[in-house]
Chains A and B, each alone.
Chain A
Amino acid sequence: MNPNTTRTIMTNTTTETSSSRTAGLLLLGLAGGILLAGCGPTFDPASLITTTRVLGARIEVEGAPERATPIPGETADVTWLVTSPEATPPLGWAFAVCMPGTVGGKTSLGCESAPLALFEGTASPPRIAISVPPVDVLGSATSLVLFGQICSGAGSMPIFDPQSGVPSCTGGDGTTTSVNIPLQLGDGANHNPTADRGFTFDGQTWPALAAGDDPCVVGPRASAGTKDHVIGNTTEGSDRELYTALLGDPPVATPERESLQISQFTTAGKLTSQFSFVEGTDDNAETTVDVTWEAPPTTEVPAAGLPVTFTFVVRDDRGGTDWTSRAACVVP
């Protein structure tokens, strides 16, 4: 898929409800998309941070931050990762936590029932402490939904359309966001993975900068316009927990291993892909995932050099999240 065409909705590329046809058509559209990559519009890739963006949410059980699944009655802290090309602007946000619901028979990302709690603030990053209701309130729910709006820009706050319920911001840009918070209702706890196990840049160890460090002084350097810079991201097998899932028909308890989805972002240049994966079938104790980066052209690089921030967000299959960042410098 052309990374610059990040989403395709084909007009009426629909089919019988036969699942094979749906999948087959998806494949045809995909193959056609590859072949016709030059026949569609070109957009900035999702991996390029050009505006204030929400990149993830981390759930931490109060008192056990490594755990991502709160037990009913516990308090879970949800921290949102918001980043910008340069300094993050002031934020205004509002959230509601509610039971998960359905719309048209499908799981909704929003609140389809009366919220259990409302939150509002301007802290950056947004951080919300959620008291998980007891089991008798939860009923059959196995998770909670945190739905809201994060607005960027001084004084910009969320507002909600009374008719449609669609949120927006009083001024500036904003992002409607949702995160599903799985609950631990039995013995199986899920733990957040660790994003920072070690990075390399063009084969060299790439540590995180200390606060206040200038990447153009201490960070790795790349010349403007150069290509094929390899960023290596080391992951550990311990970050992909084993768990038991009900799979198949009829459903049977099946041992499974988490996979890791790594989202990669940069404030300049071009990454070959927004995502990398370490699949659950990978049994290695350590797996390095590479992504290639192309430095921005000379026209975008000032004489003093251009600091570039890379953000890596790691997710497991079950709601665990972590993130880290690195910095480099592009020189003319």
Chain B
Amino acid sequence: MIPRFQTSLRIALALTATVLAHVAYGQDAAPAATTAPDAASALTPPKLVTFVDAIYPAAAKAARLQANVDLELTIDATGAVTSARVAAPVGNGFDEAALEAARRFVFEPAKRGDKAIPARIRYRYLFELAAEAAPLPTTGELEGKILSRSDNQGIAGALVTLSAEDGQPTRTAISDPSGAFHFSALPPGRFHVRLAASGLAPLAADEEVAAGELTSVTYRMEGAGKASAAATLEFGATATIEAPPREVTKRSLSGEELLRVAGTRGDPLKAIEYMPGVGRSPQAEFIIIRGSSPADSEVEFEGAPVYRLYHFGGLTSFVQPRLLDKIDLYPGNFSARFGRKMGGIIDVGVRDPKTDALHGMVDVNVVDSSFLFEGPLAKNWSFAVAAKRSYVDLFIDKLVPKDQAQITAAPVYWDYQAMLAYKPSSNDRFRAMVYGSYDDLKLILAHPADADPSIRGGVSSKTEFHRAQLTWQHKYNAAVEHEINLSTGPFSFGTSVGPDLAVQIPGYEGFLRSEWRARLTDRLRLLGGLDVSYNWFNFSYDGPRPTQIDGDPDSFGPLTGRQNVSLHHSYGFLRPAAYLEAIWQVAERLTLVPGARVDYLGDVDRWTFDPRLTGRYQLTATTILKGGVGLFSQAPSGADSLPVLGNPHLRPGRAQHYSLGVEQDLGTRLKVTADGFYKRLSDLTVNSPVPGENLNNDGIGRIYGGEVSAKLRPTAKSSGFVSYTLSRSERNDHGEGWRLFNWDQTHILTVAGAYRLGRGWDLSGTFRYVTGNPLTPVVGSVYNANTDTYKPIYGAINSDRSNAFHRLDLRVEKSWHVRSGSIAAYLDVQNAYDRHNEEGRAYNFDFTKTGVISGLPLLPSFGVRAEF
């Protein structure tokens, strides 16, 4: 409650009487006494009997001025004021007002003994304004405390932005050292509060302010106890859809965790490989989720699929890490929002630009350099621009032996992102973004490759895509909101290898998502929308007919001796989809999420219907049981549905997902999860044994296993997680019997941790153990006299296995605060104990000898980063 203050004129009297030592005004001067006074001569000062209010000077009152006026009053024996003067003028009319009033004072005269005597006294007249009587209040106040979630300490310097629903100007405040902030004179109503602090996940909330009331709130921000310039990534670990979480299993890594994963050179997208349930491939861009083919999973970037997440097959990701807002992995039983895939989904999002001030970052390391600038542009507008470019091209020619190859266009990659955000009110949010990526490599081999003479002459690879994206989020009211996301842009893929392989695929693609989210009741929410994709491309292919890779060890064999085909045609196909999902809190502890999705796959002219159901049961305050079942459909990949190369009559692949799990909080920092999963696959695209039919749908598969993970909630000091997956992934082509899938990895163990030592030192490490991938042994070979090459004779498909992979990565970073920014130097060491992991098997020309190809040895990467 706000205390009510009355404002009125209140004059406080303070009487200071100085009894004069001698008599004035005709009193006979008494001879100085030389003896002690007796009761008959006792002196009594004058006593004010009648007080007169002074007229408060109008100008001083309007100006809320107050004053003390010292007066010298002469009082006769009758008690009347015969003379008054100002001893020390104060001005502003106070002197005159005090004199006028004091002259009308009436005193009880001073006495010496019983005899009244005149006296002269000092009198202080006080002019003070009292609280005015207030009218009924029309405004309220909002005060709050911002605390760290980890240690409940106040967060200083946090920017608090207050936005009214009625379009009133946004107000801002900065939290004080205790984390407190205050807004006064707020019109009553609903306000949208946003908190932003360096190194912490932004927070948003809606608060109600009532007239005449003080609203007190407490917010807890996650990430750091103290704002740190070194921890600059701001993003949270939450899904874009409101809580409660709807997915059976969702793995998220926060900004703190992702930036600090050793072995990734500070690239959060490279940390995907370390997420629970994700397998390992020598090529990082092949993401293997719970035994699924890389082609069965998808990375969605701001609502649109991305086909090349990394430059040059895994070197570095295509987006500026510090723009990332979330990386959510759905290893199975994902929402009906996502479709056209049977494996898993990785949902990557970027944040809006910062609005508190202009910020920048420059990073220089041994491979590439990048920058990021962002900040406010105008009222309600903000921008961000980032770019990265490699400079491997500057020294690659010194690495490649000249007797092996001549680099004609050194490998180079670059990427860019630029965005504009406009938030005119708490109900609307607009964002326009352009981004793109480019990879290029050309070289001329000095000699044809041994054992594969088709690999000769010039080889090249070029990949680029560019997109423009518009996003609009609109809140109709507290219960209904709508989001539209449109992405479109050109792409181009091109590869050539000698005279026998040339591929060019320039094209254009577009993605539209229109999604409605409505809270019907406190227990029921609906989510529904349209998800449309369109592709047009000019397909030019001359080379060997590609085959399905899984289960066919010949698929990556030599080009020489293969039957070449040609296809030059333009294609365009539309894939619209509609989905609906309900988040239904059936009972206090039980939430069910039924959903369904309908897709039309224009490339194969097929409809699919995918019903899904997940559920979560809050067994105790710290234990959640969860489960899910669902159908998932997937169109044939890439060129599989094209004529000549594939089969236009292919059906979509299908998968059934089943999962059960439990989440258990142990204390405030530790969360343990355990999940069991089973996937049944059907209508898989496989090589056809029928002459004239390249591919058919005679493949089935099964994937089953369990995951256990334990995760420490990140604090200012530390973060970490441990995960272990035990699984089996098998396929059966044409009823030939079950065999291991190409990417079956029985054991996947990941241990990651990061610790802030203090004084700007940051240490992190990651250890990974992964079972080796299945291999098909070579049991002999056949000499092809037409090509002078040997063709291997294979044993049972995937009946052998490569050696297990394990590796330790370490990262150390030291940062210094410099004025309003920071500088950091980091060393990222991959393969710290120089393990010679098997990345492949090499054979001699006639397959009579074999040996292991090792992966990268100990690889240090040094860089420097400056931020403000």
The interface of chain A, by Cβ under 8 A from chain B, is 1-3, 5-28, 30-31, 34-37, 39-47, 54-57, 80, 102-107, 109-110, 147, 166, 175-180, 247-249, 251, 259, 261, 263, 272-277, 279-280, 313, 315, 319, 321
Residue from the list A9, A13, A40 in contact with B854, Cβ < 8 A: A40
Give bound CA distance, A249 to B569, whole Å: 8
Contact check, B453 vs A277: say whether CB atoms are below 8 A apart.
Answer: yes
Give bound CA distance, A315 to B560, whole Å: 13
Shortest distance from the beta carbon of B288 to any chain A beta carbon, whole Å: 9
5 tightest A-B CB contacts, nearest first: A41-B851, A18-B638, A273-B447, A46-B845, A14-B549
Residue from the list B452, B563, B793, B844 in contact with A107, Cβ < 8 A: B563
Contact check, B495 vs A40: say whether CB atoms are below 8 A apart.
Answer: no
Task: With CB as the reference atom, state the residue of chain B lying closest to A168.
Answer: B780
Residue from the list B547, B569, B788 in contact with A313, Cβ < 8 A: B788
The answer to whether residues A17 and B445 also contact, given A7-B451, A41-B851, A179-B786 and a CB cut-off of 8 A, is no
The answer to whether residues A12 and B742 also contact, given A17-B548, A22-B546, A28-B312 and a CB cut-off of 8 A, is yes
Shortest distance from the beta carbon of B605 to any chain A beta carbon, whole Å: 19
Of residues 675 to 715 in B, which have CB atoms within 8 Å of A's CB atoms?
685, 687-691, 693-694
Of residues 437 to 473 in B, which have CB atoms within 8 Å of A's CB atoms?
441, 443, 445-453, 455-457, 459-461, 463
The answer to whether residues A8 and B312 also contact, given A102-B691, A315-B788 and a CB cut-off of 8 A, is no
Task: With CB as the reference atom, state the residue of chain A lying closest to B441.
Answer: A31
Contact check, A104 vs B687: say whether CB atoms are below 8 A apart.
Answer: yes
Q: Which stretch in B102-110, B381-389, B419-427, B551-559 binds the other chain? A: B551-559
Residue from the list A8, A103, A107 in contact with B853, Cβ < 8 A: A8
Task: With CB as the reference atom, state the residue of chain A lying closest to B498.
Answer: A277
Given contacts A41-B852, A104-B552, A274-B450, 18 further A-B contacts (CB under 8 A): A7-B847, A9-B557, A11-B282, A11-B775, A14-B555, A15-B294, A17-B546, A17-B640, A18-B637, A19-B541, A20-B638, A22-B546, A28-B312, A106-B547, A272-B403, A272-B446, A279-B499, A315-B788
Shortest distance from the beta carbon of B90 to any chain A beta carbon, whole Å: 88
Give bound CA distance, A94 to B773, whole Å: 38
Contact check, A9 vs B691: say whether CB atoms are below 8 A apart.
Answer: no
Across the interface, which residues of B come within 8 angstroms of A263, CB to CB? 788
Contact check, A249 vs B567: say whether CB atoms are below 8 A apart.
Answer: yes
Give bound CA distance, A17 to B650, whole Å: 14
Is residue B767 contacting chain A, with contact meaning CB distance below 8 A? Answer: no
Is residue B237 contacting chain A, with contact meaning CB distance below 8 A? Answer: no
Task: With CB as the reference atom, state the residue of chain A lying closest to B447.
Answer: A273
Residue from the list A24, A28, A176, A313 in contact with B493, Cβ < 8 A: A24
Is residue B505 contacting chain A, with contact meaning CB distance below 8 A? Answer: yes
Residue from the list A31, A251, A261 in contact with B443, Cβ < 8 A: A31
Q: Which stretch in B194-202, B574-582, B833-841 binds the other chain? A: B833-841
Residue from the list B453, B639, B843, B855 in contact with A17, Cβ < 8 A: B639
Contact check, B851 vs A40: say whether CB atoms are below 8 A apart.
Answer: yes
Of the A-B pairs whose beta carbons lie under 8 Å apart in the complex, a sample of 30, sorted by A's number, is A1-B455, A7-B843, A7-B847, A13-B556, A17-B549, A18-B639, A20-B494, A23-B495, A23-B501, A25-B556, A26-B495, A27-B461, A28-B312, A28-B461, A40-B852, A40-B853, A43-B842, A45-B450, A46-B846, A57-B785, A102-B691, A105-B694, A109-B784, A176-B793, A177-B782, A249-B568, A273-B450, A277-B448, A280-B499, A319-B786
Which of B295, B505, B782 has the most chain A CB atoms closer than 10 A to its own CB? B782
Give bound CA distance, A109 to B501, whole Å: 22
Across the interface, which residues of B come within 8 angstroms of A56, CB to CB? 785, 788
Shortest distance from the beta carbon of A10 to any chain B beta carbon, whole Å: 4
Of residues 562 to 619 in B, which have CB atoms within 8 Å of A's CB atoms?
563, 566-569
Contact check, A43 vs B783: say whether CB atoms are below 8 A apart.
Answer: no
Across the interface, which residues of A come within 8 angstroms of B566, CB to CB? 247-249, 251
Contact check, A16 vs B638: say whether CB atoms are below 8 A apart.
Answer: yes
Give bound CA distance, A43 to B841, whole Å: 13
Across the interface, which residues of B come within 8 angstroms of A6, CB to CB? 450-451, 843-845
Contact check, B782 vs A109: say whether CB atoms are below 8 A apart.
Answer: yes
Shortest distance from the beta carbon of B556 to any chain A beta carbon, whole Å: 6
Is residue B646 contacting chain A, with contact meaning CB distance below 8 A? Answer: yes
The answer to whether residues A27 and B547 also contact, given A166-B779, A178-B784, A179-B786 and a CB cut-off of 8 A, is no
Contact check, A13 vs B840: say whether CB atoms are below 8 A apart.
Answer: yes
Give bound CA distance, A54 to B488, whole Å: 56
Shortest distance from the beta carbon of A127 to any chain B beta carbon, whole Å: 14
Across the interface, which residues of B come within 8 angstroms of A20, CB to CB? 493-495, 503, 505, 638
Contact check, A55 vs B788: say whether CB atoms are below 8 A apart.
Answer: yes
Contact check, B459 vs A175: say whether CB atoms are below 8 A apart.
Answer: no
Across the interface, which residues of B come within 8 angstroms of A24, CB to CB? 461, 463, 493, 495
Contact check, B840 vs A19: say whether CB atoms are below 8 A apart.
Answer: no
Give bound CA distance, A3 to B450, whole Å: 6
Task: With CB as the reference atom, state the residue of chain A lying closest to B855.
Answer: A39
Across the interface, which residues of A come within 8 angstroms of B687, CB to CB? 104-105
Give bound CA distance, A12 to B456, whole Å: 23
Task: With CB as the reference atom, state the residue of chain A lying closest to B550.
Answer: A14
Is residue B185 contacting chain A, with contact meaning CB distance below 8 A? Answer: no
Contact check, B450 vs A25: say whether CB atoms are below 8 A apart.
Answer: no
Is residue B286 contacting chain A, with contact meaning CB distance below 8 A? Answer: yes
Map CB proximity to A onto B516-549 as digits: 1 under 8 Å, 0 otherwise.
Answer: 0000000000000000000000000101001111
Residue from the list A18, A105, A176 in contact with B693, Cβ < 8 A: A105
Which of B295, B411, B786, B838 has the most chain A CB atoms closer than 10 A to its own CB? B786
Across the interface, which residues of A come within 8 angstroms of B496, CB to CB? 23
Is residue B743 contacting chain A, with contact meaning CB distance below 8 A? Answer: yes
Task: With CB as the reference atom, state the residue of chain A lying closest to B552.
Answer: A104
Give bound CA distance, A147 to B313, whole Å: 40
Is residue B3 contacting chain A, with contact meaning CB distance below 8 A? Answer: no
Across the interface, which residues of B come within 8 angstroms of A7, CB to CB? 450-452, 558, 842-845, 847
Contact check, A41 vs B842: say whether CB atoms are below 8 A apart.
Answer: yes
The answer to whether residues A179 and B785 also contact, given A16-B637, A18-B638, A105-B690 and a CB cut-off of 8 A, is yes
Residue from the list A25, A27, A177, A315 in contact with B283, Cβ < 8 A: A25
Map CB proximity to A onto B485-522 as digits: 1 under 8 Å, 0 otherwise.
Answer: 00000000111110101010100000000000000000
Contact check, B782 vs A178: say whether CB atoms are below 8 A apart.
Answer: yes
Across the interface, which residues of B come within 8 angstroms of A315, CB to CB? 786-788
Across the interface, which residues of B come within 8 angstroms of A1, CB to CB? 404, 445, 447, 449-450, 455
Contact check, A40 vs B842: say whether CB atoms are below 8 A apart.
Answer: yes
Give bound CA distance, A261 to B786, whole Å: 10
Across the interface, which residues of A come within 8 angstroms of B295, CB to CB? 15-17
Give bound CA distance, A274 to B850, whole Å: 19
Across the interface, which residues of B come within 8 angstroms of A147, CB to CB? 782
Contact check, B556 vs A248: say whether CB atoms are below 8 A apart.
Answer: no
Across the interface, which residues of A come within 8 angstroms of B559, CB to CB? 26
Give bound CA distance, A162 to B442, whole Å: 49
Residue from the list B685, B694, B843, B857 in contact with A39, Cβ < 8 A: B857
Which of A15, A25, A251 has the most chain B CB atoms closer than 10 A to its own CB? A15
Is residue B399 contacting chain A, with contact meaning CB distance below 8 A? Answer: yes
Contact check, A180 vs B786: say whether CB atoms are below 8 A apart.
Answer: yes
Contact check, A272 vs B447: say whether CB atoms are below 8 A apart.
Answer: yes
Give bound CA distance, A180 to B782, whole Å: 13
Task: With CB as the reference atom, state the residue of chain A lying closest to B567.
Answer: A249
Give bound CA distance, A266 to B112, whole Å: 143
Of residues 270 to 316 in B, which have CB atoms within 8 Å of A's CB atoms?
281-283, 286, 294-295, 312-313
Task: With CB as the reference atom, state the residue of chain B lying closest to A8.
Answer: B842
Is residue B772 contacting chain A, with contact meaning CB distance below 8 A? Answer: yes
The answer to whether residues A11 and B447 also contact, given A17-B295, A28-B312, A263-B788 and a CB cut-off of 8 A, is no
Give bound CA distance, A18 to B775, whole Å: 22
Task: With CB as the reference atom, state the residue of chain A lying closest to B405.
Answer: A34
Give bound CA distance, A277 to B449, whole Å: 12
Contact check, A9 vs B553: say whether CB atoms are below 8 A apart.
Answer: yes
Across the interface, which residues of B come within 8 angstroms of A15, CB to CB? 283, 286, 294-295, 549
Residue from the list A3, A17, A43, A176 in contact with B685, Cβ < 8 A: A17
Is residue B791 contacting chain A, with contact meaning CB distance below 8 A? Answer: yes
Residue from the list A35, A275, A277 in contact with B399, Cβ < 8 A: A35
Shortest distance from the beta carbon of B553 to any chain A beta carbon, whole Å: 7
